[in-house]
Amino acid sequence: MLMALFDGVSAAAGAARELHALGITHADLSVVSRDHQEESAIGRQIDASPGSEIEDSGTASRLGELGGYVLAAIAIGLPGTGAFVAAGPLAAELGEAAGHMAGDLKATLIKAGLPESEAEEWRAQVESGESILLGAHARTADSARVEAAMLRHSTGRVVVSEWGD
């Protein structure tokens, strides 16, 4: 996994174009930004997936799923609200909140090799909306070329790490 910060959508899009040309697919390019809605919008724009595997922990996924079950149980007990509550905006917002509360971007960045102070700086830049984080799995592409493409558009540092749970 290679990760870098980008000053905005246009810089991230420039990197994404180069990465796609190198063979990085939609599934192997992830974007993390200040919230999941923005991640989805940027992901659609640059042909990348929202970065839940980077940003959110397994705990976050389980909490989001549990929240869905709780909402479904509430919906069963409240006549007339079932479809709205179980699949509507409330379910989406609660799932996102659980993901952000349990997700720990700083810990993930430290695990990837950033020193704690730099990981905190990157987390703060992403959460404030100042920067966008892209992560690329270089499964079929030459990682040196992927790193060079990211550097051309990034804020200046690419973190290269082995990715695994």
Mean pLDDT, each 10-residue run in order, the chain (165 residues): 94 97 93 89 92 51 45 48 44 42 73 91 93 91 94 93 61
What's the pLDDT at 107?
87
In the sheet with 29-32, reading across from the earlier edge strand, the strands are 49-50, 29-32, 132-136, 2-6, 158-160
The whole-model pTM stands at 0.71
What's the pLDDT at 88?
44
What's the pLDDT at 130?
95
What's the pLDDT at 95?
42
What's the pLDDT at 52?
57
Q: Which residue has the tokens 């950033």?
A: 114
